[in-house]
Chains A and B, each alone.
Chain A
Amino acid sequence: MLKTFPKGGVHPAEGKYSAGSAIEALPLPKIVSIPIAQHIGAPSKPIVAKGDKIKVGDKIAESAGFVSANIHSSVSGTVVKIDNVLDSSGYKRPCVIIDVEGDEWNEGIDKSSLIKKEISLTDKEIINKINESGIVGLGGATFPSHVKLSVPDGKKIDVLIINGVECEPYLTSDHRLMLEKAEEMLIGIQILMKALSVNIALIGVENNKPDAISHLQNVVKEYPGIEVHALKVQYPQGGEKQLIKALINREVPSGALPLDVGAVVHNVGTAFAVYEAVQKNKPLFERVVTLTGESVKKPSNFMVRIGAPVTDLVEAAGGLPEDTGKIINGGPMMGKAVNSLEVPVVKGTSGILIMPAEESKRKKESNCIRCAKCVSVCPQGLEPFLLNKLAQLEINDKLETGGVMDCIECGSCAYTCPAGLPLLDYIRLGKSRVSQIIRLRKQ
């Protein structure tokens, strides 16, 4: 029996068309727009000005607090301006716009592909280095990684969990990384283990990637303390709380963090970025992005410089298909639909999914027939039909006691609803209202 989380879950069509495409470097963009807010927390403060000449890896915006992250240039060239640019949230947000000239890297970066195994930094130095390199959670949540590694006094972490689940349909960037950069990734995991002073790291991978699992199991033999676990294909296996439950059978209490149960979770992409930052002195300025979709000519996995426009990826994958109806930043379950191909790739962009028009429309709505399918698929044990109604009626106290803040917005309820009700839309609305109320109450 494969390990999995005990409650709810769905199994959407996997659509991993790009699983066989090796990671290729995307041609350098002509111009990049690098947002100063690519992470959860305070937006960074730009430290460059119009006309500045910069190199790849130069810091261009400085972390503005503990929960924030540095931002580095992904290209060499001249800063054109700092201006508001449309990003995948649908809003215009401040970006540093750089005209690309050549590809000159900061001298400090080790560009060789030689694998450096020996870890010379101490735990404190590692955390500083990760902070300095602007590393955030690359699974999509973009929470600054150094924060997760700075364990508060009185908390004891005994296990590091590495998320290689990639439960979102279509996306394959983590899958390719595990196949092609396993060694680097495992060294990255060792670095994270050292930073947290733990002896055990568990890598969870969904069983639809047997090649990645067997490859990792081979390579991992030289890395004591690290184990690879195959997990059942069940969305949202990669949800932090679900993954912890599946791997070590600990249940993160409502409102608490993984570190309250002695665990820290990092994504495989983050582990790779940690390796590059600590061993190669390379800050986070590029990442693997899947460009895929049913009608895409060449579903691909690209190594993309942060700030490159999505249109560059689309062109490199054979152009925008004729029948395009929706462009999604991320996977089909939790990704955001974007309204322009000019939006920049950011640290949290794990994939771009292009959906055909006939699949882009929502299901027709009909009456709730109280079939309870939403209740049975909710991985958090909530009652989506009820939260949906309460949110529509703005009954905020009942929403709060009904556990709306426990919703992880995985979308399983809306995915499964036979009446085609937009359950998650209303639950999100209710959740944001309740969180505002909670904030005001604390003041």
Chain B
Amino acid sequence: MNKTITISPSPHVYEDTTAKRLMFDVVIAMLPVLAFSIYFFGMGAIIVTLTAVVSCLAFEWLIQKFLLKQEPTISDGSALVTGILLAFNVPANLPIGIIIIGSLVAIGVGKMSFGGLGNNPFNPALVGRVFLLISFPVQMTSWSMPTGFSNSYTDAITGATPLGVMKEGIGAGESVSAIMDKIPSHMELFYGHMGGSMGEIAALAIMIGFAYLLIRKVITWHIPVSIIATITIFTGILWLANPEANADPLFHLLTGGVMLGAVFMATDYVTSPMSVKGMWIFGIGIGVITVLIRVYGSYPEGVSFAILIMNAFVPLINSYIKPKRFGELRND
């Protein structure tokens, strides 16, 4: 036999899924969200997204090439995902310079300092976002209003988010029903007609992306559902106990970063638990911390902090929560 044949251990066939394909599926799932952002915020959304994506890719390439002296792997799509997610987590009128700083922190500190893809304990986009929130609190909380497509960017009309209005109103002793009159209806909240970070507004678009991720088997339903269920139950109890002092559960789900966080941020492979039981614990933790911050904390919104805090628990969850082994039941 004169042929060159391969000798390797089994298995000899592989699923055609690659890490790259998974990343690009996430990008596809985010496109409806991006489309809604552009529809509501216009040019600002485009400028912010492009800046974040280009600077994330550039920083990853530069760091791999010149600092780590590795073969750059930016084509794997993970920096692209981080860039889009970072853009989704900031207002659509954020100045370019601040976005670039956020990208540097996200990629440089959040990801590459730990050794790159697969080694970072915290969601890189959220590391960038929280850094910006603390460093540039004014710019990071001057939300553009959903005026429909326009060419305005940093000169956009700004206002408070529904969560901000709610926090302030409750703080001032107003009743929830009175505050509700000042913010869009639940239906408007559902398709995203409100101020906020550019990717978090449209629950509808995020749910389309969620469905796509489930169909393509990129993620499982456990983390998003456990977060949403926990927030619904927790805020539901508070609301039932005193509907004049607490917003209803649907309001909590449709405003702020709950949907975006549950579907796209908390499900990040690298920074979430590996077992189904662990995913439940992770999701419940995020839900509880989010509500605690929103209702009892000083910030109106707490999804980013909740996810980062639970990210820190992932190694612990992974080492204590193990999948149930086959044949374990009688082997103790």
Contact = CB atoms under 8 A, between A and B. Distances in A.
A341 interface: yes
Interface string B111-146: 000001111000000000000000000000000000
Contact of B73 (A366, A372, A406): A366
Interface in A351-393: 353, 355, 357, 359-363, 366-373, 375-376, 378-383, 385
Interface stretch (B46-54, B245-253, B269-277, B292-300): B269-277
A222 to B, nearest CB: 36
Nearest to B323: A381
Contact of A320 (B3, B15, B322, B325): B3
A428 interface: yes
B326 A420 contact: no
A363 to B, nearest CB: 5
A333 B11 contact: yes
Interface string B9-42: 1111111011111100000000000000000000
Interface string A323-337: 011111010111111
A152 interface: no
A256 interface: yes
Interface residues of A, number: 72
Q: Which of A10, A255, A367, A416 has the most CB of B within 10 A?
A: A367
Contact of B117 (A90, A369, A376, A380): A369
B69 interface: no
B326 A241 contact: yes
Contact of A415 (B8, B15, B20, B273): B15
B155 interface: no
A372 B275 contact: yes
A378 B274 CA distance: 13
Contact of B327 (A256, A328, A363): A256
Contact of A380 (B12, B273, B326): B326
Interface string B255-283: 00000000000000110111110000000
Interface stretch (A18-26, A49-57, A69-77, A246-254): A246-254
A326 B220 CA distance: 35
Contacts of A339: 5, 7
Q: Which of A13, A330, A419 has the most CB of B within 10 A?
A: A419
A325 B269 contact: no
A295 to B, nearest CB: 12
Given A335-B12, A366-B19, A418-B21, A406 B5 contact: no
A418 B18 CA distance: 4
Given A332-B12, A339-B5, A363 B326 contact: no
Given A320-B1, A380-B325, A381-B324, A326 B116 contact: no
B8 A370 contact: no
Given A337-B5, A338-B7, A370-B272, 20 more contacts: A13-B13, A90-B7, A169-B13, A241-B327, A325-B3, A325-B4, A327-B5, A341-B1, A359-B13, A366-B18, A366-B73, A366-B117, A369-B118, A371-B19, A375-B274, A415-B14, A418-B15, A422-B9, A424-B11, A425-B9
Interface of A: 7, 10, 12-13, 90, 169, 241, 245, 251-256, 320, 324-328, 330, 332-341, 353, 355, 357, 359-363, 366-373, 375-376, 378-383, 385, 403, 406, 409, 411-412, 414-420, 422, 424-425, 428
22 contacts: A245-B326, A253-B328, A332-B13, A333-B11, A337-B7, A337-B10, A360-B5, A360-B12, A363-B14, A366-B18, A367-B116, A367-B118, A369-B19, A369-B22, A369-B78, A370-B272, A376-B220, A381-B324, A381-B325, A381-B328, A382-B323, A417-B14
